[in-house]
Every structure is written in C-alpha cells, then in structure tokens.
Amino acid sequence: MGKGKNDNDKKNTGRKRQPNSTTSLGKRRSRSRSPVERQATAASKQSSQGKSGHQKHKKTTSTMSNPRSSEYGSQASPLRVPTQPKELVKVTIVGAAGGIGQPLALLLMMHSEYIHHLALYDLVDSTPGVGLDVSHVDRQVKVTTHVGLDSLADAVKGASVILVLAGLAQKPGMSRDDLFGSNAKIMYNIAKCCAQTAPNAMLCIVTNPVNSLVPLACEVYSRLLANKAQNPGSPTGGAAAGAPDQQQPPKQQQQQQQQQDQQQTQANDQQAAAAATATASKTAVAGQQQQQEQAAGKPESSAAKPADDHQANKSLKSLQSTGARQPSGNFEDCFRRIFGVTTLDVVRASTLTAKSALFKNEPNGLFKDPSKVQVPVVGGHAGKTIMPLLSQASPKIDKKQLMEDKVTTSIVIEGIQQAGIEVLNAKKGKGSATLSMAYAACRFTVSLLRAMAGEHIVECAYVRHAAPLCHDLEYFAAPLVLGKDGYVKVVANYFPHGNTPTTGGSVISGGSSASATGTGAGQSGGGGTPVSSSTSVASGQSLTAASNKLLLPFELHMLEEGSKELRLSIVKGEDFAREQLSADK
C-alpha cells in the first residue's frame, strides 16, 4: 500500500502540464491563443534554437500566405496583399449603375490593396443606391457617387484610371457599328471632360463600338491638349483670357477661326503631299539602283542607307509636325493613356481554346485550366476584327495540328469572334455579356494599377501607335507592355505591314520610331512593326517575310480581311470627332 502510494506521488510530482501537451487542458490552452501569439511563440523558439546551434528547418506559415490570419479578417480574400501605398489611388466608373458597372464596382472593391477611392458616376437616380450597396463590402475603400452632367468633372477629377461604360447597350439584331450613332456623342462629351479635368488619367473605353470610339477619343484629347498648350490661360483650350480678339463679336470670331483652320489644313496637306511624293520618289530610285546592282552582281550598297534613313526620319518628323495622319497637339501626351479594353476577347480565347480539342483533358477529366492558356488577340473588338493568333499561343499548339484539323481551328476562331452575339441571343434580348465584361474590365484595371506601381505587366489592348502597326493601321490591338504613364511598347514582331510585301515601313522598338519610308497624308506606302531591341529589320520585305514564317496562311488572310473592316471604323470615329470639334468652335 505504502509503496504504491509513494509511486503514485512520484508520478504526480514528476508530471508537469505543458501548454502544448496532448492533455485536454493543453489543447484548450493552445486553441485559446490567437494566431499572432502562436506565430510569436514559434518565432521565439526558432530563434532560441538558432542561438544554441541546434536550429531545425521548419516550415512556418506567414500572414502573407494565410488568408485567415487575424491581420486579414475571417472573411478576407486570399488575393489581398497588405501594402503601404505612397498615395491614394482613385478609380472612376462612368456608367456605374448599368449592367456592367454594378458588378464591376463590386469586383474592384475586392482589390483594396490597389484602390482606395472608388467614384461611381451615372445619370440615373439609382446611382446613390448602388454606391451605398457596394460600400457595405468590408474593404477599406472610400466610395462616392456622382449623378448628373454637372458632376462628371468632380467624378473624374484626381482619378488614376477612368473606366467608360456609358452608352446604349447592344440589342439583338444590332451590330456594334449600329451603336455608333447613339454612343459617339456620349463618348465625345465624356472625352472632352476627361481631357480638360483629368488629362493624365488612364482612359479605358469599354463602351462599344470600341473600334470607332478610341479614335474619336484620341482626336478629342489631341486637339484639346494642343489648344491648352498653346493657350495656357484657357482651361477649355480656347483663346486666352484678355486676348484682343475676344472683343470681337462671336460670329466674327467664328468666321476668322474657320478661315485660319482652312488655311492651316491646306498648308498641311500641301506639305504632307510634297513630303510623301519626295520620299516615294527617292524610295523608287533607290529600289531601281539596288535592282541594277543586284543584276550586275554587285553587293548591296550600304553607303546610301544612312542618307535614306536620315531623309526618311526627317520626312516622318515633317509629317508629324504638319499634322498629316496625326491629330494636332503633342501626340506623346495622350495616345499612350487611351485604351480600348479588349481583354474580354483574350479571356474568351483562353477559355474556348482550353476547352477545345487542341488541348488534351486533364487526368481528372476536366478540360485544361484556361488561366494557364494565353492566346494573343489582335486587331479590334468586333466581328472579323477580332483576330486570335492560335499559332502564337502559350503553351504552344502544334502548327501542323492547326493546319490539318481545320474544323477545330475554325470552330475556335469563329467561337471567339461570335461569342458576344451568342450571349446576346441566349439572354433573349434581356442583356448582353455584362458579367464576363465586368470581369475583363476589372482584370485590365488591376493590371494597369500594378504596372503603375512598377510591375512588369503585359496585356492586349486596342490603342493608337506612333506609326502604322499592321498594314497601314495606326489603331490596332496588340500585346502591350504597360507602364506608369501608359503603354510602353508592343511585344510582338509578327505583324505584316504595308499595302504590298515590298513597301518599306517604320520599325518601332520601345515605342520610338527607328526608320520610316513612304508615309503620306491620307494614305501610307508603308507602316511600322514593333520589334525587340535585339531584332533589326531593314525593310518591309523582311518584315513581311518574318511574319510569313511566324504566322500561318489562314492567320495572314484573317489579318488582311480584318484590317479592311477595321479601317472603316477608324475613319468613322476620326471624322465624327473632327466635325464636332469644328462645330464647337
């Protein structure tokens, strides 16, 4: 009896309850501690072990990878990354109460690591309700609402990114060009306000038809910013305050301004035509000389190239300064910050390609993860102008498979081009592709904000280029490197350019013109193609040869046909803007 008692006493005295023991009390104590306390305890143990020289490599969970940490909140998204921004970022949605604007506002609220002020603008009286609804989301984002034409300037003032969703939505039986009549005037007024109030903001145009509204906005920005630079005393780009001509009656002022515009336009056309003629003649002479030398068996003359390139650059600068195929004003100040959002085409291309027979299913029976498939979609944002380049997809698709399996290839391409119409018809006229468009607009907005924060981001978008990119088109969607002040350069070198394979063109590397031959007012004998810094292309023939090697025949044909349709949409937008600007004077 005594012995057993002594043994039990020894066991009881030797037993110590540890906080991390397997006893129920230890479990309760462990569970009662907060995640921060447990991490602090683990860190102290690890440091003490390091000091004693017996440190063990243990994998600890950090608050950055643990979305349920107390620093995030129990309902936080794992996508959120806590940061300390240097300045508050404001994003404005113009058309926030519509079918795209409402889900887009919700999605942007989930990215409070990049967005700190969300301004919602619309004309309808339900806009404050939308703002109140989305403001209840548990994110540290300031939400303001703005209603009516007079409040548009307040909504866009100080914004880093402006998303334009306003306008008439597409209905069954309507093409995107049919929308131009109603949405062009809306876009014109919005572009004017943004150019005057927030000229340094990124302008992202979602309203259709994007193919025409982006050229319209670029014309408005270029003209207003040029007038503002010439007359800094006038916020609207008109005559400076106190100028002598303001004493004249308005009709006389308008007549004088119209006469000056006509004279300037005639002078610009004459100079541009002369420069184009001179450049074309020199190019023809150089081509004849080269053919004669090649026929005589002489090596290609390199002494004449620097002079030709110098003259070509001089002609290009002359055309830009005179305004030929160039909006008035400092082109560099605006064109890199105006985007047509074509991200939905890229998202659809990734999804439909991943689901097609071009990729094998995963071992679990599901189709390939679309987020891991990247297909560049170039051109425009409507019908045939949507041109997915399957041969440039990542992961790579066997070109032989694309050529042999023509049925699958055509189904994928047509599905991407007609996806919006299919959604429109499936909704029986009660809406368009609002949800997927909201997702795509959110993705592009976050990509812009990440690029503005210093990250290297590449996204496809419909923009104006400093020189023709594909054939003779200056407006063209392509993969772009985004930066703090807009897009930096194009990251593709597979575009054919020029009206014929033998015409020369300008080569753009990093957004600057390297060489050019034969650009003229109203038409172009050549174009430009973006290349990497390690690639040098000397002529339009070699560029086209490079595109022939990189792209498949059906893709080259698709680019040619899509460019014809896109050209008409561009002219429509530019002409509308010029007419409205002249009428406003």
Pick the catalytic residue: 111, 146, 381, 497? Answer: 381
Strands 142-147 and 486-490: what pairing?
unpaired
Cβ atoms of 106 and 134 closer than 8 Å: yes
Cα distance between residue 172 and residue 338, in whole Å = 29
**What is the SS3 assignment for 471?**
strand
* Token output for 241: 């305050």
Which residue has 């990049």 as its token pair? 114
**Cα dihedral 337/340/343/346 (nearest 10):** -120
Instruction: Report how far Cα 292 is from the mean position of its chain's Cα atoms.
Output: 47
Which residue has 């390297």 as its token pair? 514
For 283-321, the DSSP string reads HHHHHHHHHHHHHTTPPPP-SHHHHHHHHHHHHHHHHHH
List of long-range contacts for 70-73, beta carbons under 8 Å, 24+ apart: 70/34, 70/35, 70/36, 71/36, 73/138
Query: Quick check: bond before 172 cis, omega within 30?
Result: no
Q: What angle do CA 585, 214, 123 make, to 5 degrees?
A: 75
- Kindly report the number of other CB atoms within 10 A of residue 76's CB atom: 17
Helices 210-230 and 180-197, packing angle to 10 deg: 30
Q: Measuring CA to CA, how many Å separate 532 from each of 362, 503, 507, 547?
A: 35, 21, 10, 14
Q: Give catalytic status of residue 381 as yes or no.
A: yes
- DSSP classification of residue 282: H
End-to-end distance of the chain based on CA atoms, in angstroms? 113
For 510-568, the DSSP string reads TTEEEE---B-SS-BS--EEE--TT----SHHHHHHHHHHHS-HHHHHHHHHHHHHHHH
**What is the SS3 assignment for 74?**
coil
Amino acid residing at 1? M
* Token output for 284: 């023809």
Query: Quick check: bond before 244 cis, omega within 30?
Result: no
Instruction: Report how far Cα 180 is from the mean position of its chain's Cα atoms.
Output: 21
List residues with catalytic annotation. Answer: 381
